[in-house]
Amino acid sequence: MTEFRDVLEARRLIAGHLPETPMWSYPVLDSTVGARVHVKHENVQPTGAFKVRGGINLLARMPDRSRGVVAYSTGNHAQSVAYAARLYGVACSIVMPENPNPAKVAAVQALGATVTVAGATMVEAADHARALADDQGRRLISPADEPDIIAGVATLYLEVLSARPRLDAVFVPVGSGTGAAAACLVAAALAPRCRVIAVQSASAPAAHDSWASKELVTRPCETVVDGLATGSAFATPQAVMRDGLADFLLVGDDDIRRAQRMLLTEAHTLAEGAGAAALAGLLFVREEFAGREVAVVCTGGNAGPAELDRLLAS
């Protein structure tokens, strides 16, 4: 289980590779929402998403990394592992489910990793990745059941809550759940009065339903938001989220698209769908947080061509 001292160690390991990302508030966005909103810009990471923190921390701490790694992902976890693998000179194979975001495929390949497209879902892609790792003798890296990934991701919330320890709430998008688990760990240590509120697409509610039922479940995955497109929950983040979350919201894909447009027009920020989900969650409960001070994490900016077309057409 990840502990706060692991987060501090991750900050030390990551600091030489990644600077702190900015966090800004925008007057027009504040006025629209009716609260003081701090946007944490993980979209400016070198991979365009927050997960790179976890990849670097895991590879830095992996004693036998020379044997190589295999990961399965719709994109941002893949880029995280590929980036860290290149940083440490490690061979890397990535498995993506069918119809992946072409921009994320190109980005992973540009980082030197090989990409295999296999399986209609993440569950099937995971099975293929597991077989590939066994065949190649490489370390399989789960998107979420990795304490070192959660510790690395938690460094972003260390930055948020060190800068703004009096926040009333931080809103966190959930796909696999590493971000929400990481936020819970840091809030408990630094800002126990800050509520951690998770947000997921109602069209892919596996993590939400697992949290609500206190057992791991699978659910249909019909969202167009690829960063949230997970059909099953992960035990490691769920164990932290179970006691640490103040609330877990489900929002529609249309709500997420509206939040994307709001970030674009009122915060000068291009977010992928998952990167706008936190704001969509805040908008869903805006009356509860009127006049209060909150943070939303723009977890990524890797919007593909189809997603940009939908955004501009809406």
SS3 at position 46: coil
Residue 96 confidence (pLDDT): 93
* pTM of structure: 0.95
Torsion of CA 242, 52, 103, 160, to 10 degrees: 70
Tens of pLDDT, residues 9-43? 999 999 999 999 999 999 999 999 999 999 999 99
Residue 314 confidence (pLDDT): 64
Interior angle at CA 280, CA 277 and CA 286, nearest 5: 145
Residue 285 burial (CB count, 10 A): 16
CA–CA dist 136, 155 (Å, integer): 32
CA–CA dist 143, 95 (Å, integer): 12
Residue 22 burial (CB count, 10 A): 11
Residue 121 confidence (pLDDT): 82
The string of DSSP letters for 94-149 reads EEE-SS--HHHHHHHHHTT-EEEE--SSHHHHHHHHHHHHHHHT-EEE-SSS-HHH
- Here the tokens at position 297 are 């994490």
Interior angle at CA 114, CA 108 and CA 119, nearest 5: 90
Q: What separation, in Å, do the N-terminal and C-terminal C-alpha atoms of the chain show?
A: 43
Containing 175, the helix (H) or strand (E) segment is none
Residues with pLDDT less than 50, the chain: none
Residue 304 confidence (pLDDT): 74
Q: How far is CA 14 from the centre of its chain?
A: 17
